[in-house]
């Protein structure tokens, strides 16, 4: 176990100050670490596998609304999220506008774009082409029988989209991995890096959950059934900051500009300066922390009422 992402953001005296606020961070529905997902057991004892229902971001937020109700939280002081978490944060503010006091959207779009769906498609094909995928019904096949090779390939593809070309070049360039020769079966340093990222994910994540969450991201469209994007964004009542990463080529700044233009309380796009590409929203905690503090500075403490902050 590690401190996880945003460890520098959450805690006593930090931007998400746990001396002042309750912080609620639910694991997403469809995941494999705490919530119900394809690996979970259904009535009768078998894993859900391929019978697990197709989910949208809106479905996942409905589950979070149920959680907030169960906890007795009628209104969030702040809902914050980046990437897929930003999609869910936006769904909160549009679908439950009276329950969101402030909103921080990081490196996310109003709807999944064609290029994002294309990258996702390559990842899904990699997993489903693995002979151990078995149509999604591999969980009861025995230890080590899952589509681990396909999941690793999907992770390699995804990780290239998370980082910037400049960062990869400056870190790895055209260099061979130490002690290896690419012309004689060895690897370049960047290949070793991607292998490491793939191995880490395969050890801790379920391929069917990966598929469920990627497909849920593909469905994201805040205007679906709401009269279009502009009408949906106009429903947001929360004080809002929209931010993007200047080197992000997966969810570029033009997508955050669309959000800022449509949300009544948003004042343009805040730019997080980072060489790290899309992952900058996770790594640039000092800059993100400044945005959090700005939003929470205007949030009154409400003794006697259950309030909190949800990092989606």
Quote the percentage of the chain above a pLDDT of 70.
96
Is 275 exposed, middle or buried (CB count within 10 Å of its CB: 0-12, 13-18, 19+)?
A: middle
Which tens digits make up the pLDDT trace of 17-34? 999 999 999 999 999 988
pLDDT in the model for residue 312: 57
Cβ count within 10 A of residue 13: 8
Whether 97 contacts 72, CB under 8 Å: no
Task: Domain 122-216: give its CATH code.
Answer: 1.10.1740.110
Cβ count within 10 A of residue 272: 25
pLDDT in the model for residue 306: 45
Which residue from 248, 47, 281, 38 is spatially nearest to 163, judged by alpha carbons? 248
CA distance linking residue 126 with residue 148, whole number of Å: 10
Query: At how many degrees (to 10) do helices 207-219 and 114-128 cross?
Result: 160
Catalytic residue check, 50: no
Which tens digits make up the pLDDT trace of 100-113? 999 999 999 999 99
**Given 83, 209, 247, 274, which residue is catalytic?**
83
| Residue 43, φ and ψ in degrees, nearest 5 | -55, 130
Which tens digits make up the pLDDT trace of 248-277? 999 999 999 999 999 999 999 999 999 999
pLDDT in the model for residue 179: 96
- What is the CA 47 to chain-centroid distance, rounded? 25
Contacts by 7-12, CB closer than 8 A, 24 or more apart = 8/285, 8/286, 8/289, 9/285, 9/288, 9/289, 9/292, 10/311
**Given 220, 248, 274, 279, which residue is catalytic?**
248
Quote the percentage of the chain above a pLDDT of 90.
89
Whether 164 contacts 186, CB under 8 Å: no
How big is the CA angle at 172 (ends 273 and 7), to the nearest 5 degrees?
45
CA distance linking residue 184 with residue 193, whole number of Å: 19
- Where do the structural domains in the chain lie, given as residue ranges? 73-111+226-311, 122-216
Is beta strand 102-106 parallel, antiparallel or unpaired with respect to 239-245? parallel
Which one is the CATH code of 73-111+226-311: 3.20.20.10, 3.40.50.80, 3.40.50.1820, 3.40.190.10?
Answer: 3.40.50.1820
pLDDT in the model for residue 303: 42
| Residue 185 vs residues 85, 176, 182, 188: alpha-carbon distances, Å | 40, 11, 6, 10
Is beta strand 269-272 parallel, antiparallel or unpaired with respect to 102-106? unpaired
Catalytic residue check, 164: no
**Given 139, 148, 220, 278, which residue is catalytic?**
278
Which residue from 215, 294, 213, 281 is spatially nearest to 252, judged by alpha carbons? 281
For the entire predicted model, the pTM comes to 0.93
Q: What is the mean pLDDT of residues 216-244?
A: 98
State whether the Cα torsion 36-39-40-46 is positive or negative. Answer: positive
Mean pLDDT of the chain: 94
Q: What is the mean pLDDT of residues 143-160?
A: 95
Catalytic residue check, 278: yes
Task: Give the pLDDT band of residue 308 (cuts 50, 70, 90).
Answer: low
Task: Give the pLDDT band of residue 141 (cuts 50, 70, 90).
Answer: confident
């Amino acid at each position: 176990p590690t401190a996880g992402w945003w460890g520098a953001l959450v805690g006593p005296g930090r931007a998400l100050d746990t001396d002042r606020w309750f912080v609620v961070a639910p694991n997403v529905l469809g995941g494999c670490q705490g919530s119900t997902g394809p690996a979970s057991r259904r009535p009768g004892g078998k894993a859900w596998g391929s019978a697990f229902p197709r989910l949208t971001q809106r479905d996942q937020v409905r589950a979070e609304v149920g959680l907030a109700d169960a906890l007795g939280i009628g209104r969030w002081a702040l809902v914050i999220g980046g990437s897929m978490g930003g999609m869910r944060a936006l769904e909160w503010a549009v679908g439950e506008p009276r329950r969101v006091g402030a909103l921080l959207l990081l490196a996310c779009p109003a709807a999944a774009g064609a290029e994002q769906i294309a990258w996702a498609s390559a990842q899904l094909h990699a997993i489903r082409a693995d002979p151990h995928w078995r149509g999604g019904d591999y969980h009861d096949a025995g230890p080590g029988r899952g589509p681990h090779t396909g999941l690793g390939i999907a992770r390699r593809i995804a990780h290239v989209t998370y980082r910037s070309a400049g960062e990869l070049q400056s870190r790895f360039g055209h260099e061979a991995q130490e002690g290896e020769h690419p012309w004689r079966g060895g690897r370049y340093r960047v290949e070793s890096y991607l292998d490491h990222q793939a191995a880490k994910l395969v050890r801790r994540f379920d391929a069917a959950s990966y598929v469920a969450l990627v497909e849920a991201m593909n469905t994201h469209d805040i205007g679906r059934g709401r009269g279009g994007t502009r009408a949906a964004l106009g429903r947001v009542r929360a004080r809002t900051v929209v931010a993007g990463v200047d080197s992000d080529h997966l969810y570029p700044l033009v997508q955050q500009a669309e959000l800022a233009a449509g949300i009544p309380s948003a004042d343009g796009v805040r730019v997080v300066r980072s060489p790290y590409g899309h992952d900058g929203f996770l790594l640039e905690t000092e800059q993100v922390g400044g945005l959090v503090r700005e939003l929470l500075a205007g949030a009154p403490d409400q003794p006697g009422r259950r309030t909190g902050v949800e990092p989606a």
